[in-house]
Amino acid sequence: MENLTIKQLQNRKSIRQFTGEPISEADLELIFQTAQRAPTSINGQQISLIYTRDKEKLKQIAHMCNEQAHIATAEVFVGIVIDFNRTSAIVESVGRNHIIEQSAEGIMVGAVDAGIMLMQLQAAAEALGYGTTAIGAVRGKSDEMVKFFNLAPKTFLAVGCTIGVPTEKAKTAPLKPRIALDTFVMQDTYDSDKVRKGALAYEETLKTFRDTTGSGSMPTYAEITSNYYADIYYRKTGKTLVAQGFAFKDE
């Protein structure tokens, strides 16, 4: 018997073409309620969501996110915020200082929980028939995002997500292939050689996908990865984290 949850997750794709049809308030609330059930470290609930439907604000966010036009055509933009302002309130209520945000571990906790929240949010939206795309470019102008959303100290907008009704073309677009499973899953011991060979093999896999689907303008794995990871592409991230009260003071 087919498992509908597994089918949905295995067919997940980023949607950047929307019909413009509205999302009902009831659906949006259900998506947020479901996202809130995501696990967080120590049940600290150090994640908040901030969203907008405002078309002018969507255009501004698109501009701040490297002119990603599909953000402006989405129905909703959701910001996933690392929120140690919330946990500070409860820690301070018992007379102690909240300092976890001043450590690598704290930043890891926030980033991991934000990623988990993103997936829960997307799964809920997609279960209702909507399309989503994660927006990492919010960190490109992270300082402007702080002002745009009036973020408090000890908070940071880690990632965004668009939600909208996908076009038929977007829904039926082929799934982008992944690296070979045996170079992704390893039992007992990490195999560096296999991982590296798998990455090189995937370069050819993605080129073939481009050719067979007519998406020749799509960058190869080597092109897109080297364009980003051979540089530090969002250079404001560290400065904005520090300005918001985050730091690496583990020692």
DSSP bridge pairs for 164: 131
CA 141 to chain centre: 15
What distance in Å separates the CA atoms of residue 155 and residue 145, rounded to the nearest whole number? 11
Q: Which distant-in-sequence residues (6+ apart) come within 8 Å of 223 by Cβ?
A: none
In this prediction the pTM is 0.95
Question: pLDDT tens-digit profile of 76-111?
Answer: 999 999 999 999 999 999 999 999 999 999 999 999
- Residues 93, 27: Cα–Cα separation, whole Å: 36
Query: What are the tens digits of pLDDT across the range 125-172?
Result: 999 999 999 999 999 999 999 999 999 999 999 999 999 999 999 999
Residue 117 CB coordination number (10 Å): 26
> What would the two tokens of residue 56 be?
């002018």
| Cα–Cα distance list, 16 to 6, 78, 169 (Å) | 23, 15, 10
d(CA 129, CA 75): 13
Residue type at position 169: K
